[in-house]
Structure 1
């Protein structure tokens, strides 16, 4: 019964991980926003770490325990699997830091990138050397327990620092975003991330346990990656239009522009909006300031009586649908 429960939980956890990767890929393809690419990479890297560093080491510990392996052997193999997955964990949280910056139209500085990989690259090498040293010098049981405790707290510290750093930057820059709905969505996403990953950290001390405690940790790890993604998907569906109108028919756009008295520059901005670009990308594409883009968008919303991009693009699409509709009484 215990093995069946363990297997079911692992299967569900891996299914959750696969769902997160596929969903993030679908969102990236649908909306084509820069930060969604970072989110996709985060999901790929964090779930690959989950396979090696979480599922792999939990399964190895359970098998070795059932076969009566020594405590030292179980600890060594468990740390070896975690070591294999650690580079993916480092890459994953770097992508999370990038995601946090890009969501608020900013970029991660080169200095922070260099410092991040320098510190964690050194920590990765030190962890590998410690595993080798533990086997060469035949550590005692107490030394293995101490080593495992140090790693557990170091892992929790890495996740906590990356999470807090990314979210603090996210919350700090959110007030400058002019779209109220987007501000609200980003704050909700940030709180969801904080709660989900904090819950996973609470049970992280069970990572080196076999049986149901280890299974609980595996499930919490993979669930923490999916829950914020689901919340952000819901926000995107309400506040962001798919990047599906870059080739709006000339006739449709011309009639739309004429009907709502849209200026030539405002038309340029609308076409960029329909292409799924952020305000910053529009400014760079049209060689105008970010504030000018915001002013154009504000006037466009006033003229068309809409509140966000989704409503604007739906309005344009509705004009195209009306043009494509056959006149009454016509025969197919």
Structure 2
């Protein structure tokens, strides 16, 4: 079992690092408030996952190895998630801000502040009520762990609703391709939360259930991120798009042997057009645009739209 936990921990670490890295690259590519909020959401989400969940499991294991008293093990493990609450609070606020910044609705700042004050204030109130109910045993037993989990899931559910409502309500102002991407992204985020909420209580059900649940917990937020990464060229416009430098573009095309058709693709990319828009204007298929784009990247020695746009427009 120790080997299994080590492998799962390394996978979780790799997922967290990959998610944060992909999100950070998106900030550099598109430089929007949404991508910044998403980046901070992922950082705080994974920070709590390590500090509030993995640290609890590791602490239980270490204290068990040195034959500590069961009451001490339980009390220490139950208290660790409480110290991770600041990470959760920030992730909830970032989640709310993500929804409003995704559809560029300015009221999001006021809503996120109200959300922060209300739900952060709910934490000590719920904590005090719990202490009154259980009195002497409030730091012992599994009831504290389940109470923490229930409060966490309730506030995250409220945050998810506040995140989803503005996106689904305001995405109608965008054209169908982008609207479809935004709505599906919201659906993936909600499904990820629902599945986390379904499986998280089983952390206490048995040793073999814990490892796959932890792995899924980390993967849940990576799936929406990966989907958005694949569709970013349609939903967002890169930095510097719309300001091509004709002289730089001519020199670049001559230096790397860019063909006439490939130059038309370069023009479209540097004007901030999506692959589908380029395909429609040139009367070619979307796959043909992708094939030309790949050849352009190979000739120049780059691997993203952002680098091409920076070479021509920056």
Query: Could you tell me the TM-score, scaled by structure 1's length?
Result: 0.68
Matches of 2:61 and 2:196, distance apart in 1: 21
Matches of 1:25 and 1:90, distance apart in 2: 21
C-alpha deviation, 1:225, in angstroms? 1.4
Residue of structure 2 equivalent to 1:292: none
C-alpha deviation, 1:210, in angstroms? 6.8
Residue of structure 1 equivalent to 2:14: 15
C-alpha deviation, 1:244, in angstroms? 4.0
Residue of structure 1 equivalent to 2:191: 195
C-alpha deviation, 1:146, in angstroms? 2.6
Q: Does the aligned pair in 2 maintain the 1:243–1:275 contact within 8 Å?
A: no
- Structure possessing the higher radius of gyration over alpha carbons: 1
Which range moves more in the overlay, 23-32 or 78-87? 78-87
| Distance 1:245-1:237 versus aligned 2 partners, 3 A rule | closer
Matches of 1:101 and 1:109, distance apart in 2: 5
Unpaired runs of at least 5, structure 1: 254-272, 277-297, 322-332
| Distance 1:72-1:32 versus aligned 2 partners, 3 A rule | same
Q: Does the aligned pair in 1 maintain the 2:244–2:271 contact within 8 Å?
A: no
- After superposition, the C-alpha distances for 1:32-75 in whole angstroms (9 at most, x for unaligned) are 12211111111111111111011111211233344443443223
Q: Superposed, which structure 2 residues align to 1:222-241 within 5 Å?
A: 222-241=218-237
RMSD: 3.8
3-state SS of 1:102 partner:
helix
Unpaired runs of at least 5, structure 2: 250-268, 300-314
- Structure with greater contact order relative to length (CA < 8 Å, sep ≥ 6): 1
- After superposition, the C-alpha distances for 1:244-294 in whole angstroms (9 at most, x for unaligned) are 4465225689xxxxxxxxxxxxxxxxxxx9697xxxxxxxxxxxxxxxxxx
Aligned: 1:77 with 2:73: no
Residue of structure 2 equivalent to 1:139: 137
- After superposition, the C-alpha distances for 1:209-235 in whole angstroms (9 at most, x for unaligned) are 673322233212211111100000011
Query: Could you tell me the TM-score, scaled by structure 2's length?
Result: 0.72
C-alpha deviation, 1:181, in angstroms? 0.8
Q: Does the aligned pair in 2 maintain the 1:98–1:108 contact within 8 Å?
A: no
| Distance 1:210-1:130 versus aligned 2 partners, 3 A rule | farther
Q: Does the aligned pair in 2 maintain the 1:101–1:107 contact within 8 Å?
A: yes
